[in-house]
Amino acid sequence: MGLKDAEYERIVDILGRHPNLAELGMFAVLWSEHCGYKHSKLALRRLPTGGWRVVQGPGENAGIVDIGGGWAVCWKAESHNHPSAIEPFQGAATGVGGIVRDILAMGARPVAVLDSLRFGDPAEPRVRYLISGVVGGIAAYGNCIGVPTVGGELACDDSYRDNCLVNVMCVGVARRDRLARGVAAGPGNPVLLAGNRTGRDGIHGCTFASEELGERSQERRPAVQVGDPFIEKLLIEACLEALGTGAVVGLNDLGAAGLTSACAETAARAGTGMDIDLDRVKRREPGMSPYEVMISESQERMLLIVERGREAEVTAVFDRWGLEWAEIGRVTDDGVLRVREGGSLAAEVPVAALTRDVPVYDPVVEEPPYLRRAWRAPLPGDFAQGELPGAANRALTAILASPEGCAKDWIFSQYDHMVQVNTVVTPGADAAVLRVKELGPAGLAVTTDGNGRLCYLDPRRGAALAVAEAARNVSCLGAEPLGITNCLNFGNPEKPHVSWQFAAAVDGMAAACRALDVPVTGGNVSFYNETEGAAGRRVHPTPVIGLVGLVADVTRCPKAGFQAPGDVVGLIGPDGAGGGAGDGAGDGDGLGGSLYLYAAHGLVAGRPAAVDFDLERRVQDATRELARSGILASCHDCSEGGLLAAIAECCLLAAPGAGGAEVEVPAGGRVDGALYGELPSRVVVSAAAGDWPRVEAACAARGVPVRRLGRVAPGRIVARRAGGTQALVDVATGELRAAWAGALESLMGGARQ
């Protein structure tokens, strides 16, 4: 059950007696790390959660932000890491189902799904099996329920070999006057359970997620839920219609901890209690005990609190959609959760004991000893004059052929990203863009971003860089960042080095969110992403940011790729000329933790560059202004792979005839740093020659550096030093396209689930 001896003694003190098996199971699931946030709650309080647009912050099923016109956007991200590591298809599929129901519980219609995936080396057969199963599970569930999967990210690193990370975000929209909450308000109101029947799948799923993986983890396969997306689709429509009657007081998903969580948390939010009769709970399997029924995580179930006397209005909706339902209990006024079966009391626990009284730990933190060594680690030698352009060409090819840098068509082609016909900018751009039909030309830009290498080398800087990149991605499409959700993936928090990484990452995230005025509306912490034992492997600390932005006019979003030969290619933001003396290897020129070091040299070393938050904000302000104005022909964030990788992607995503460029990179410093260093706050843009002075003027007005790099010239990518004649990079775009477009399918051997 995952409870410590001291926690058990605390339960005995609270109850004044020893708990029975059902009660112990209820405490075990709600006091698990996955549900109780025992080791993270104190640190998470440092995150900024308020803002003038924020309607609902952390504490509910999902966060909500006002987008004007009487409408709101709702979004949340969740992890399904351990389930996906032992049963990839169902683990990922039910991760989608669960996060979709979190959005539904707020009264919002789910309109988009995004993912963020981390695996080991695809050269290993088991890793390919995991990737294929996870992508297949996300595709199957999302496609069947009619919610488009519009974007995401993929990274592969040996640290994720045993613990893949499967993070999924769902976005929904709702009318402000139709929002719902997960509250069991109104003593005497009936409690309905609707959707799928309850089975033995998913029992102790949340306690399984709160422990390290080990040799016997495969025995926990029954802890992985089994999904039915067709029932979920019916449940979405029925719940939205039921909310429309006005008779639903509260709505909550049955996710982690199942019926226990749904009953206790809704009662806790309302300050009430609940009386449940398990004889009324419809079951898939005979002989289930109260313990099993209360903690089962069977999917596609929702708990509804209905206004007394109006039950028939709600149940008629579920009958019409062909869904089973049962009235399983009543709201009470005494703050106690009572569970009955066969006329006897099976459990009796104060709601506050399950929710408010969860133990909170302030873990010991200690900086990992590897950190300073990694900062000072020697970097590979710079490109020698006689090696150019061949060596730099090969490095660019390696970056674009890596799982992070390559085209993700093998994944995105399995997702239906056009269902609901709201997708304006499809997967593969800096962010996806969705129209909100009720708001005329306005819409939403959505993205997920994270970088485990950077956080491994400096969790504070790495988390700040992730927030900045996510906000910059939507700014490249002219969108105003509204807020973030997060998935914080770390190892065992009871180990001081992991707790230090977590605390530092939260501080970096908090600093970036405050500086960029981007509130945190909710999130998820996934600890214990490591294998047990002295020789165990833990994942890189990997905070994933899910950000939503508001687009004023979805028809005016600039493209990521170059559009016309002869257009000026430019860089908004610092050019990195001369590198600079940072306090770690590669700090000043952006080589620390770069994709170049990893893809071309197999190194995770150096120190990531720090974000200048004031400059980042001004760069994003200027970028949004230009993107909205229609001046820019293209606009693309410069991040993984550095300046030359961003320019190459602009060429690979270009309009016909515009797939190449001749540019000059800044003089001074290392050549590989100028080409592939990952300095923050940079955006590659293009514009017609006659419009370029307006780009310079807009940047000057905000005190933002801007540099004319060269021009769009089809066929090849050629880069030289400013003022020089030697080609540093000279490669045919078609040669890069062959490596970039087919890399993932080649790595996967074409396999699909």
CA distance 285 to 77: 31
Are residues 470 and 380 part of one domain? no
Question: What is the value of pTM for the model shown?
Answer: 0.95
Are residues 718 and 588 part of one domain? yes
> Is 39 a member of any domain?
no
* pLDDT at residue 726, as a whole number: 92
- CA distances to 155, 165, 213, 495, 530 from 534, rounded to whole Å, are 26, 22, 13, 12, 11
> Is 752 a member of any domain?
no
Q: Which two tokens stand for residue 109?
A: 């219609």
Are residues 530 and 393 part of one domain? no
pLDDT at residue 468 is higher than 60: yes
* pLDDT at residue 502, as a whole number: 98
> Is 120 a member of any domain?
yes
* pLDDT at residue 46, as a whole number: 97
pLDDT at residue 328 is higher than 50: yes
Q: How large is the average pLDDT for residues 245-271?
A: 95
Q: Domain boundary at 555, 570, 602, which?
A: 555
pLDDT at residue 250 is higher than 70: yes
Q: How large is the average pLDDT for residues 9-36?
A: 95
Q: How confident is the prediction for the chain on average, in pLDDT?
A: 94
Q: Domain range for residue 18?
A: 1-31+180-358
> Is 751 a member of any domain?
no
Q: Domain boundary at 555, 582, 613, which?
A: 555
CA distance 710 to 690: 14
Tell me, what CATH number does 145's domain have? 3.30.1330.10
Are residues 193 and 74 part of one domain? no
% residues pLDDT > 70 (the chain): 95
CA distance 622 to 572: 9
In order, the DSSP letters of 283-313 are BSSTT--HHHHHH---SSEEEEEE-TT-HHH
Task: Domain count for the chain, please give it.
Answer: 3
Name the band, by pLDDT with cuts 50, 70 and 90, for residue 723: confident
> Is 37 a member of any domain?
no
CA distance 259 to 194: 12
Pairing verdict, β 634-637 and 520-526: unpaired
Q: How large is the average pLDDT for residues 137-153?
A: 96
Name the band, by pLDDT with cuts 50, 70 and 90, for residue 670: very high
Are residues 605 and 464 part of one domain? no
Are residues 212 and 329 part of one domain? yes
Reported as a single tens digit per residue, the pLDDT across 83-132 is: 999 999 999 999 999 999 999 999 999 999 999 999 999 999 999 999 99
DSSP state of 214: -
Q: CB–CB of 615/706 below 8 Å?
A: no
The dihedral through the CA atoms of 500, 506, 510, 513 has a sign that is positive
pLDDT at residue 336 is higher than 80: yes
Exposure of 392 in the CB half-sphere (CA atoms within 13 A): 31
Are residues 186 and 175 part of one domain? no
Are residues 535 and 431 part of one domain? yes
Pairing verdict, β 301-306 and 190-195: antiparallel
pLDDT at residue 221 is higher than 70: no
Q: CB–CB of 233/323 below 8 Å?
A: no
Reported as a single tens digit per residue, the pLDDT across 486-525 is: 999 999 999 999 999 999 999 999 999 999 999 999 999 9
Name the band, by pLDDT with cuts 50, 70 and 90, for residue 407: very high
Backbone angles phi, psi at 368, to 5 degrees: -65, 140
Name the band, by pLDDT with cuts 50, 70 and 90, for residue 256: confident
**Burial (CB count within 10 angstroms: exposed 0-12, middle 13-18, buried 19+), residue 418:** exposed
Are residues 701 and 582 part of one domain? yes
Q: Domain boundary at 528, 555, 582, which?
A: 555
pLDDT at residue 206 is higher than 60: no
Name the band, by pLDDT with cuts 50, 70 and 90, for residue 581: very low
* pLDDT at residue 561, as a whole number: 97
Q: How large is the average pLDDT for residues 400-428?
A: 95
% residues pLDDT > 90 (the chain): 90
Are residues 191 and 174 part of one domain? no
* pLDDT at residue 218, as a whole number: 55
Name the band, by pLDDT with cuts 50, 70 and 90, for residue 575: confident
* pLDDT at residue 397, as a whole number: 97
Instruction: Judge whether 80 counts as a catalytic residue.
Output: yes
- Residue among 591, 594, 599 at smallest CA distance from 402: 599
> Is 63 a member of any domain?
yes
Name the band, by pLDDT with cuts 50, 70 and 90, for residue 584: low
Reported as a single tens digit per residue, the pLDDT across 263-313 is: 999 999 999 999 999 999 999 999 999 999 999 999 999 999 999 999 999
* pLDDT at residue 580, as a whole number: 45
Instruction: Judge whether 34 counts as a catalytic residue.
Output: yes
CA distance 374 to 361: 30
* pLDDT at residue 531, as a whole number: 85
> Is 40 a member of any domain?
no
Are residues 493 and 543 part of one domain? yes
The three-state DSSP-derived secondary structure of 84-102 is HHHCHHHHHHHHHHHHHHH
> Is 636 a member of any domain?
yes
* pLDDT at residue 200, as a whole number: 87
CA distance 667 to 43: 43
Helix (H, G, I), strand (E, B) or coil at 647: helix
Are residues 602 and 523 part of one domain? no
Active site residue: 39, 80, 82, 636, which one?
Answer: 80
* pLDDT at residue 532, as a whole number: 72
Tell me, what CATH number does 351's domain have? 3.90.650.10
pLDDT at residue 215 is higher than 60: no
